[in-house]
Amino acid sequence: MQYAILCYHDEKVTCAWSKEQDDAVMAKLGGVMDRLTRQGKLGPVARLLPTTAATTLRKDREQPIVIDGPFAETKEQLLGFYIVDCQSLEEALDIARELGQSNPGGAYEIRPVGVFFPGKTA
């Protein structure tokens, strides 16, 4: 089963990390990702730019409207995601716990993937 591990954190806080802190986080995550890759369990991974760069298309009306900013104003923002291939939810949770050790705060939503299309960009 594939799971998406969706990373939520207060982006004001992650933007306040020093460069050293950010680098340390990325290095730790990189270590976990390397292992998962070797085990053939890691799918696509993305780190998203701040929600201030986001645009939302609301299509709940006849003419969809474009709104500046993220879909929802929340205390924690979706900052990125991992796709992992695991035997069980327990295993996905273990991976999330391990990723979570790179920095305190925030939350991971572990969500089973229904349809997966790997895609291809130039």
Partner 1 sequence: MSDTNWISAVLTAARPQAVAALLRYFRDLDTAEEAFQEACLRALKAWPANGPPRDAAAWLIMVGKNSAIDAVRRQRRLQPLPPDELISDLSDAEAELADRVDEADYRDDILRLLFVCCHKELPATQQIALALRIVSGLSVRQIANAFLVSEAAMEQRITRAKARVAAAQVPFEAPGAIERAERLGVVAAMVYLVFNEGYTTNVAEQGARAPLCEEAIRLGRLLLRLFPTEPEIMALTALLLLQHARADARFDADGMAVVLEEQDRSRWNSKLIAEGLALVEKALRHRRPGPYQVQAAIAALHARAARFEDTNWDEIDLLYGTLERMQPSPVVTLNRAVAVLMTRGPADALAMIEPLAGKLGGYFYFHGARGAFLKKLGRAEEARVAFDRAIALANTPAEAAHIRRQIDRLAASVELQPDTIGGARP
Q: Residue 44, SS3?
A: strand
Interior/surface letters 99-118, b for 16+ CB within 10 angstroms, e for the rest? bbeebeebebebeeeeeeee
Name the segment binding partner 1 (CB under 8 A); options: 34-42, 66-74, 78-86, 112-120.
66-74
- Of the candidates 60, 62, 68, 90, which one interacts with partner 1 according to CB under 8 A? 68
Residue with tokens 């327990």, as numbered in its chain: 90
- Of the candidates 60, 62, 73, 90, which one interacts with partner 1 according to CB under 8 A? 73
Residue type, 94: D
| Residue 105 touching partner 1 (CB under 8 A) | yes
CA atoms within 13 A on the CB side of 72: 6
Residue type, 93: L
Residue 12-51 contact track with partner 1, rule CB under 8 A, x = bound: xxxxxxx--x--x------------------------xxx
Name the segment binding partner 1 (CB under 8 A); options: 57-65, 87-95, 101-109, 112-120.
101-109
Residues 6+ apart with CB under 8 A from 76: 8, 9, 10, 106, 107
Name the segment binding partner 1 (CB under 8 A); options: 32-40, 84-92, 100-108, 114-122.
100-108
Query: Residue 45 CB, nearest distance to partner 1 (Å)?
Result: 15
Contact residues toward partner 1 (CB under 8 A) are 10, 12-18, 21, 24, 49-53, 55, 66-69, 73, 75, 103-105
